[in-house]
Structure formats: C-alpha cells, structure tokens
Amino acid sequence: MNGLKNKKTLLNTLSTLFLQIVLILNGFIIPKLILEAFGSDVNGLVSSLNQFLQYIALVEGGITGVMMAKLYRPLTKGDNEKLSAVLASAQRFYRRIGLIFILYTLGLSIAYPLIFNTGFSFIYVFSLTIILSIYYIILYMLSLTYRTLLNADKKIYIVSFTQALLKLVEIILAMFAIKVFPDIHFLKFLTGTIFVVQPIVYTLFVKKYYKIDKSAIADDSLVKGRWDGFAINTAAFIHNSTDIAVLTIFTNLATVSVYSVYALVTNGIKNIIMSLVSSLNPTLGHAYAREDYVELRHKVDLYEYIVFMLVFFIFSVAGLLITPFVSIYTAGLTDADYFQPLFGVLIVIAEALYLLKFPHLNLAYSADKFKKISIPAFVEAGLNIIISVALVPFLGIIGVAIGTIVAMLYRLIFHVYFTTKIIPGWKQWYYYRKLIIFILASAFGILLCLLLPMPDNTIMSWIWHALAYSVIISIPLICVSLVFFRSELSFLKKYLKKK
C-alpha cells in the first residue's frame, strides 16, 4: 500500500513539473508574441487587467484551502456522505462567487478606462476586460469544485496533465491568431474559450473514481472557516498582485510591462519549485489527520531540506542571470527600459523568501489552522501594501520589490514559530540552523560566479554561463548536504526506494 501511495506521489510530482514547464513556455511565448505584435503598452495593459480581475480571489476568501482541509478526513475514512456534503457546499459557494465576479467584471470594464489614462479608447479597454474574464468565469462556475477534490485525493496528475495540454493548445492558437488576424481581442478570446474543456474532463474523472451524492444538502457550517481562510488568501493574493496594481496607479503601463517580464522569470521558477514539492502537501494533511507526529516530523524535515536545496540553487543562479536574460528577451524593444539589474536581484530575493516558508505554511494549512494564522496573514498584506505605496513614488519599481521582501520576511519568521505549536517537541533553531548553512554555502558559490562575468548578452553566452554557474553553485550546496544533512539524505533515499 505504501509503495502504491509513493508511486502516486511520484506521478503527481512529475505531472506538476511537466505542467510548470509548459506554463513557463506559455508564459514566455505568448507575452513575447504580444510585445512584438502590439508593443509594451498593450502587454502592460493585459498584465494590469489580469491582476485586477484576479481580485475575485479576495471574494473567494480562501475557500479552496479550507475545503482541502475539510476533504482530507472523509477521504481517508471513505465517508462518502460527508464528502458529498463538502462538495455540495463548495459548489454552491463557488457559483455565488462566479455571479459576483460577473458583476465585478462589468464594473471594472467601465471604471478602469475612466480612471486610468491608458492611451486606449474606452471601447478597446472595456471589451478586452470582458474577454479576459472568460477564463475566470469558467474556473469558478464550472471547474474549481472537482479540481479541489482531485487535488485533495492525491490525483493531482489529472489536473496537471489537463491544464498542460490546454496551455499547449493555447500557444498554438495564439500563434495562429497573430498570423491570421493580429488583434489582441481576437487572440485572447480564442485562447480563453478553450478552457471550457477543463470542467468536462474533471467531471468525467470524478464520475469514474467517486460515488458523489448529487442530492447532498450543502452545509454552510463546513465553510465557516472561510473568513479565516480569507486572511490567508488575501496575503497570497497581495503578494502576487500588489506590485502591478501599485505600479498601474503610480507609474505607467510601460513600467508594468517591465515588471511583468521580470516576473515571468521569477514566477516560472517559483511555480517549478512549488510543483516539485506540492505532492508533499496532501501527505502532511493525511499524517496530521492520523495524528502520526513521528511521520509528520520526518515529512517536514524532508520538505524543508528539499525546498532549501531547490531555492538556494535555482534562485542563486537566477539572481546572476535574470537581467541578462531579460535583455536578450526584449532585444529590439525601445518603448520601455528593461535593463533593471537591482530590481532583478530584489525580485529574486522576494520570491525566494516566499518559498522558504512553504513547508511550514502548508503544514499550517494541512492542520486546518486557518484561524490561528489569519492575523499574521493580514499583517503581511498590510506591510506589503504600506511599504510599496510609500516607496514607489521615490524608488519606482524598486519600491514595490522592497515592500514584498519585508512582508515575506515577517511571514517566514511567524510560520517557523507557529510550527512549534503544531508538532510536539519541534524547535525553531532546527530551521534557522539549516537556513544559515545554506545562505553561507550559496553566498560562497555566488562569489565564485562573480569571477566569471558575462562579456556580452548573447544567447550562447547566456547558456554557457548558466551551465557554468549551475555547476559552481551546486558544489558548495552538495558539500554542506553531505556534511550537515546526512539524516535528511538518508530519509530521502528510503523514501525514493519505496517509490
């Protein structure tokens, strides 16, 4: 049975990794097409509108995280009656959100072109806003309920492969639209409507694997924790959306485009790492539900080690190469200044801090501790907004990065502390010892890399330096692993053997 479970974990990991690779390709190819065909202002407008449309996540109030936590116990116990009640509650709530979102989209489509001086006509911005909302309407009205169930039951691979296939189709359709009828409205309508396939696939798999009682009565008490989840969702949303919103208000669409291009890199890296470790999240939830604290402790230790290795290796290389990459990616574009080396380093640090708290953040989610971690989530969100708004008039794009770094650092410290309240006998210094060792190892590798600067911004030079930097950074990280983390390596070896 354990072997079967670990094989499923491996399949989930590989499928989410494949999805993230596809998402990265999608994230680089489609904006590149938009930049070349329509310019930085259109790319900035699309990025800005998408961020404002994502404010619907605030209305969701973290219900997805709450539902995931509520689904673990009936899934482990085979309680189909309880499972059906949770799903009925989730579906009713998501469809209410969908209706609210439709009204919100209409309001945004009218207000945005009246408030912000975009340089585009009212009808142009109004219609583009409506078209961009199609994806979110499909998501909340039709997809999220069953997607949440599949994820909670460790069938992440179904969700991942479905999304990956649709994202590949989206790339093909975007290329087709540029060739046939180069209009941003046509492109986004064509690529948005294909996601109606998603809920169809999820429904087919749910019918195959589960006995869901369609007549189950929704129980609103099951989502009573949504207001605690609201704080968690708000913090995550602000982390992902504050910067572009602040830049839209205080700067211009060209600056938004600059930010979004750098964010393509950091978000892509962040999502790859999240995909590699996301399959561990349900295992934490199931171990906690069984009250097996020995297994939970081992899983958290392994989770920490994997995240540290991935973050310090990948983000160290990214910090050295992100600005040269953006310069190559935007070569020939003169309508915005994409050479922002300091911002490149700061945004890499911000996303690294976001990920370094992940084992402890997801432990709190899995343990259904939403209420107890809600206030720190609001504090993080407030810090991010206040500092970003205060600094952006003076520092521009650098100011929003600093605001994110301060907020992420605060939240990391809190969640490391909060784990002591979940796992009996766990100490904070376990984490900070690892952190200091990895910081020193990574810093040593970066110093060595600085002795090998890039002479020019060409694709071949960038690839060669990426390979060289990767080797150099990996050596001190491997050395400290062999010296200080032999127990984690031993547990990882046993874990992989089971697979």
The 10s digit of each residue's pLDDT in 315-329 is 999 999 999 999 998
Instruction: Assess whether 199 and 313 both reside in one domain.
Output: no
Query: Percent of the chain at pLDDT above 90?
Result: 31
- For residue 493, pLDDT over 80 is answered with no
> Using an 8 Å Cβ cutoff, are 276 and 246 in contact?
no
> Using an 8 Å Cβ cutoff, are 305 and 498 in contact?
no
- For residue 425, pLDDT over 80 is answered with no
Instruction: Assess whether 164 and 244 both reside in one domain.
Output: no
What is the per-residue pLDDT for 162? 92
Helices and strands: H and E segment counts in the chain: 22, 0
Instruction: Give 75's pLDDT tier (boundaries 50, 70, 90).
Output: confident
Q: What is the rounded (10 degree) CA torsion for 9, 431, 264, 362?
A: 50
| 385-to-365, 382, 419, 472 alpha-carbon distances in Å | 24, 5, 26, 37
| 107-to-48, 111, 238, 344, 418 alpha-carbon distances in Å | 16, 6, 21, 35, 40
3-state secondary structure of 452: coil
- The b/e string for 295-311 (b: 16+ C-beta within 10 A; e otherwise) is ebbbbbbbbbbbbbbbb
Q: Among 220, 240, 257, identify where a domain stops.
A: 220
What is the per-residue pLDDT for 230? 59
Spatial CA neighbour of 346 closest among 402, 407, 408, 387:
402
Instruction: Assess whether 412 and 340 both reside in one domain.
Output: yes
What is the per-residue pLDDT for 1? 44
The total domain count for the chain is: 2
Indicate the DSSP class of residue 423.
Answer: S
Q: Among 187, 220, 253, identify where a domain stops.
A: 220
Instruction: Assess whether 281 and 140 both reside in one domain.
Output: no
Q: What is the rounded (10 degree) CA torsion for 317, 319, 322, 327?
A: -120
3-state secondary structure of 406: helix
Instruction: Assess whether 339 and 426 both reside in one domain.
Output: yes
Q: Whole-angstrom Cα distance, residue 40 to residue 34?
A: 8
Instruction: Assess whether 163 and 273 both reside in one domain.
Output: no
Instruction: Assess whether 251 and 192 both reside in one domain.
Output: no
* Six token digits for residue 259: 């930010």
The amino acid at residue 101 is F
- Provide the residue range defining the domain that includes 106: 1-220
Q: Whole-angstrom Cα distance, residue 262 to residue 281?
A: 28
